[in-house]
Amino acid sequence: MQNIHPKESYAPCLSINGSLATITLNRAASANKLTPEDLGVLRSHIQAVNTNAEVLVLVLRAEGKYFCSGFDIAEVIKSSQIKGVSFGEMVDVLEACRAVTIAVVQGGVYGGATDMALACDFRLGSEATEMFMPAARLGLHFYQSGLERYVTRLGIDTTKRLFLTSEKLDAKQMLDIGFLTSLYSDQKSLDEGLHKLTISLVDKAPIALLGMKNSINAIARNRADAKAIDALVQQSVQSGDIQEGALAWQQKRSPKFTGK
Q: Which residues contact 55 (CB under 8 A, 6 or more apart)?
A: 16, 19, 20, 21, 49, 98, 99
Q: Which residues pair with 132 in a beta bridge?
A: 110
* pTM of the complete model beyond 0.95: no
Q: How crowded is the C-beta side of 130, counted as CA atoms within 13 Å?
A: 9
Q: Which distant-in-sequence residues (6+ apart) come within 8 Å of 243 by Cβ?
A: none
| pLDDT recorded at residue 50 | 97
Per-residue pLDDT, averaged over 86-104, amounts to 95
- The average pLDDT across 169-183 equals 98
Whether residue 258 has pLDDT greater than 60: yes
Q: Which helix (H) or strand (E) holds 13?
A: strand 13-17
Q: Per-residue pLDDT tens for 142-159?
A: 999 999 999 999 999 999
Fold category of 2-201 in CATH: 2-enoyl-CoA Hydratase; Chain A, domain 1 (3.90.226)
pLDDT band at 76; cut points 50, 70, 90 = low
Q: Where are the alpha helices (DSSP H) in the chain?
A: 36-50, 73-78, 85-95, 112-118, 135-138, 144-154, 156-165, 171-176, 187-202, 206-220, 226-237, 240-251
d(CA 164, CA 59): 30
DSSP of 92-135, one letter per residue?
HHHHT-SSEEEEEE-SEEETHHHHHHHTSSEEEEETT-EEE--H
Radius of gyration of the chain (CA): 19
